[in-house]
Amino acid sequence: MVFRLAGEDDVPAIRRISLALGQAEEDSGSDAEYVQFLLATGTVMVAETASGSSVIAWGAVKQSRGRSMLTDLFVDPDHQARGVGAGLLRRLWPNGPQEPARFTFSSRHPAALPIYARAGLAPSWPLLYMSGDRRSLAGPDGSAHLEVRQVDAGSAAAADMRLASAGRADVADVADIAGLAADYRWWGRGRLLSGLIVLDGARPVAAGVATRSGLAHLTCPDERNAAPAVIAALLALDAPEVSLCLPGPHPAVRDLLEAGFRIDDYDISMSTPDVSLASTWVYSPGLG
Ligand SMILES: CC(C)(COP(=O)(O)OP(=O)(O)OC[C@H]1O[C@@H](n2cnc3c(N)ncnc32)[C@H](O)[C@@H]1OP(=O)(O)O)[C@@H](O)C(=O)NCCC(=O)NCCS
């Protein structure tokens, strides 16, 4: 087995592996633009057979707000359960299980959580993939005091960073801000004003980004406004059928279920002990 950095030439093999694992959607390894985004902004590696004739696994890590996020780890179905996934993970995170500041959203594949646990990550809440008709949220919802302003991705990323770093000593550095703005532009690609800032009067309480069919991310440190901000942001989207991923303990989960939203799937958030992922935010399972 050979583990090496991936390049443009590996995009077709990454697509083949992803399709074999049923990953056909945008923002997965079958989406060449997604892989190119990871190649440009993160570290992408592949495993290939010793003869070098075939790529059998791929994975990627990326900086997210000063932490290292594992965005993807996929092993060809014919080569699973032989140590390839764990081996690739050890190359992507080479400093051992004590290395701080790492997280991922683990799939429920039986081999996924064990290899992340051995890499020093502990599970916390489920990240619920939810979808539904946003028009069912149009009734009284407690979000009437909030206004949603649609802005460009860079402005929303800057507002997000201010909200996320408020009250923290480790205020984000320039690299964090540039990285977050790149993620926002990626999520909002193809849309002119994809950024969202949710205001309570003049005060921003949440910032995030819309995709063509949902909410990719929403930072909202304020527990009281967490559910109203999600509902206000969903109501501001164009498409009637929308999707988003919410932490199990997020206060909006019950409101959305009551409005007829479904839980289509879930991942498990996992992180090193020093990382506490806020349960009042909306997350992208791939990019945080
Ligand atoms: C999850 C995945 C990346 C793991 O890679 P892999 O090469 O199959 O796994 P490995 O052989 O390296 O390691 C699996 C480990 O989990 C252990 N394991 C498997 N099932 C287990 C279970 N039910 N309980 C405890 N441990 C278990 C194995 O024993 C093995 O550990 P060992 O080598 O010490 O015996 C791969 O199976 C895969 O691509 N799955 C489908 C896609 C997916 O869900 N990817 C994860 C995205 S977050």
The rounded distance, in Å, linking the Cα atoms of 127 and 278 is 12
SS3 assignment, position 58: strand
Please state the atom number of ligand 1 nearest to the C-alpha of residue 82: 11
Query: Distance, CA 205 to ligand 1 centroid (Å)?
Result: 40
Q: Which residues contact 165 (CB under 8 A, 6 or more apart)?
A: 171, 172
Secondary structure letter of residue 177 according to DSSP: H
What residues are paired with 68 via a beta bridge?
Answer: 63, 102
Cβ-contact 102, 120 below 8 angstroms: yes
Secondary structure letter of residue 284 according to DSSP: -
Q: What is the pLDDT of residue 26?
A: 87
C-beta atoms surrounding 33 within 10 Å: 12
206: left (phi over 0), alpha (psi -120 to 50) or beta: beta
- Domains of the chain with CATH codes: 2-94 (3.40.630.30), 129-271 (3.40.630)
Residue listed under structure tokens 């683990």: 106
Query: Distance, CA 53 to ligand 1 centroid (Å)?
Result: 23
Tokens of 272: 């090193």
Residue 194 has pLDDT above 90, yes or no: yes
pLDDT (mean) for 188-207: 94
The rounded distance, in Å, linking the Cα atoms of 129 and 140 is 24
Counting ligand 1 atoms within 8 A of each CB, the residue from 109, 265, 269 with the most, and so the one to mutate, is: 109
Residue 144: pLDDT band with limits 50, 70, 90: confident
Q: What is the pLDDT of residue 168?
A: 60
Query: Distance, CA 23 to ligand 1 centroid (Å)?
Result: 17
Q: CA Rg, the chain, in Å? A: 19
Q: At what angle do helices 32-41 and 11-20 cross, to 10 degrees?
A: 120
Condensed to tens digits (0 to 9), the pLDDT of residues 19-37 reads 999 999 889 999 999 999 9
For 61-126, give the DSSP string: EEEETTEEEEEEEEE-GGGTTSSHHHHHHHHHSTT-TT--SEEEEE-S-TTHHHHHHHTT-EEEEE
Predicted model pTM: 0.95
The rounded mean pLDDT for the chain is 94
The closest alpha carbon to 231, from 167, 150, 147, 143, belongs to 143
Condensed to tens digits (0 to 9), the pLDDT of residues 212-259 reads 889 999 999 999 999 999 999 999 998 999 999 999 999 999 999 999
Counting ligand 1 atoms within 8 A of each CB, the residue from 74, 102, 284 with the most, and so the one to mutate, is: 74
Q: What is the pLDDT of residue 282?
A: 98
Give the amino acid at 183: D
Query: Distance, CA 80 to ligand 1 centroid (Å)?
Result: 7
The rounded distance, in Å, linking the Cα atoms of 214 and 129 is 11
Query: Distance, CA 111 to ligand 1 centroid (Å)?
Result: 2
- Give residue ranges with CB within 6 A of ligand 1: 21, 73-75, 80-86, 106-107, 109-112, 114-115
Q: Whose CA is nearest to atom 14 of ligand 1?
A: 111
